[in-house]
Amino acid sequence: MKYINGHVHLEESDMCESDGKLFLTEAFSVIMEEILHKGTDSKEKVCEWKDPDQLRALLDLDLREHGESHEQLLQRVQDVARYSVKTCHPRFFNQLFAGVDYHALTGRLLTETLNTSQYTYEVAPVFVLMEEEVLRKLRSLVGWSEGDGIFCPGGSMSNMYAMNIARYWAFPQVKTQGLWATPRMAIFTSQQSHYSMKKAAAFLGIGTDNIFIVQADESGSMIPEDLEAKIMQAKSKDAVPFFVNATAGTTVQGAFDPLNHIADISERNGMWMHIDAAWGGSVLFSKKHKHLVSGIERANSVTWNPHKMLLTGLQCSVILFRDTTNLLMHCHSANATYLFQQDKFYDTSLDTGDKSIQCGRKVDCLKLWLMWKAIGTHGLSERVDKAFALLNFFASLLVFSVT
C-alpha cells in the first residue's frame, strides 16, 4: 500500500472503497435471503444446530496475519447466517424477545451506518431531539407530564441506574465521600424479581446481603404484608430501608406486583419505589390490559424494554424518572470540560451525555421512533393485545390437554 504524506494514495483508497461497497451490497443480499426470507419461513429451521467443536471447525474462527478474498468473506457471512439462531423465526420462543419489525430493523441499520454517539447535540443533533421526544411520550404513558430519563444498554443497566439514583437521592454525600459516609442500606425485592437486583447491589457496593427478599404468592406477585415484615426486620438490624423494587411482568410467571399497595408502603417508610417493567411496561399501550400496572404513576422510576413485547429489536431499554430536580445529571455528571463546554452556540441542556455513566452511548431511540411512526400508538396497542390473545389461546390448549 502506497502512502503520500501519511495518507493512503487516492487511487488505491478509491479501489478499497469500491470493493467495500460491493462486498456490503452482496453481503446484504445474503442477509436478506438467509435471515429475512428463510429465517422467517416456518418451513425452515430455527437453527442449524452444531456441537461446539463442530461449529468451531465449520466457522474457521482463527484470525490470521493476512486478509481473505472477497469470496471467502461472503462465505463467512453465509456461515454466520446459516448457523446462528433465527430469533425472527415464527417458532423461536426461547427468550422474551422474538420476531422482526421491518421499520425498527431499518432504524437499526440506519443507526449502525451513521455510527454516532448520543452524548452531545453537536455530534448527534437528530438523535438528541428524537430521544427527548420518545422519552417524553413514554413518560406520558406512565402518567407523568414531567420527568427525566435515558436510554440504557439493557434492562439490567436500567435497574442499576434506578438503584444508583435512589441511593444518591437518599444519601447525596455518597457521590463524593463514598460508602463510608452512609449507613447500612436495605433493598427490598420479590423472590420472583430479576437477578439484576443482586448484580446492581453488588456492583454499587451495597452488598447482596442487604437485599431483603419478599415472598410471592402462587401467581408470582409480591405479598405486601411480607414486604412490611421485611422492612421491620431490616430496621431491627439498624439498616435504613431506601429502595423497593416492584416487578410488572416477572421473568418466569409474567406476574404483576400490586403496585398501589407497594406504593402505600413505600410512601409510609420514605423509600424510593422502582418498578421493573422491562417486559410488562408495554401493557401501557393497551386499554384492555393497562389495568395490570395500575399505580405505576406513583413510582419514582420505571424500567421499560420495548425490545421485549413490541418487537423493537435488541437493544431498546429506557429508565424513566418522575423526578424534576435533575437528579440523573447531578448523580452521574463529571463535568468533562473538553466535551461538555458551557459556551457552545446552542442550548447546552441538549448535551445529555453527562446523565449517563457511559461516555460513548449507542443510539437506541431511532428504531423505536421509526416503528412508532410507521404503525402509530394504535398499532402498538394492537400488538400488545395480540400477544395477550395468543397467550390466552396457548393457555386454553394446555388446560384442554390436561383435562
pLDDT < 50: residue spans in the chain: 3, 8
- Residue 377 is placed in which grid cell? 400508538
Of 278, 275, 282, which is closest to residue 385 (Cα–Cα)?
Answer: 282
Burial of 366: CB neighbours in 10 Å, binned 0-12, 13-18, 19+: buried
Query: Which helix (H) or strand (E) covers residue 309, if one does?
Result: helix 306-309
Residue indicated by cell numbers 454466520: 80
- Asked if residues 139 and 297 have their Cβ atoms less than 8 Å apart, the reply is no
* Type of residue at 237: K
Measured N-to-C along each axis, helices 224-236 and 259-268 cross at an angle, to the nearest 10 degrees, of 20
How many Å apart are CA 103 and CA 374, to the nearest integer? 7
How many Å apart are CA 75 and CA 159, to the nearest integer? 40
Number of CB atoms found within 10 A of residue 256's CB? 26
- Asked if residues 100 and 108 have their Cβ atoms less than 8 Å apart, the reply is no
Digit-coded pLDDT (tens) for 76-130:
999 999 999 999 999 998 888 889 999 999 999 999 999 999 999 999 999 999 9
Number of CB atoms found within 10 A of residue 191's CB? 13
Burial of 399: CB neighbours in 10 Å, binned 0-12, 13-18, 19+: exposed
Residue-level pLDDT at 94: 82
How many Å apart are CA 65 and CA 48, to the nearest integer? 30
Digit-coded pLDDT (tens) for 225-235:
999 999 999 99
- DSSP-assigned beta bridge partners for residue 247: 276
Task: Quote the longest CA-to-CA distance of the chain.
Answer: 80
- Asked if residues 95 and 278 have their Cβ atoms less than 8 Å apart, the reply is no
Measured N-to-C along each axis, helices 10-31 and 70-83 cross at an angle, to the nearest 10 degrees, of 30
Burial of 360: CB neighbours in 10 Å, binned 0-12, 13-18, 19+: exposed
Beta strands at 301-304 and 317-321: parallel, antiparallel or unpaired: antiparallel
Residue-level pLDDT at 395: 87
Which DSSP symbol is given to 215?
A: P
Of 214, 215, 206, 217, which is closest to residue 231 (Cα–Cα)?
Answer: 214
Residue-level pLDDT at 3: 47
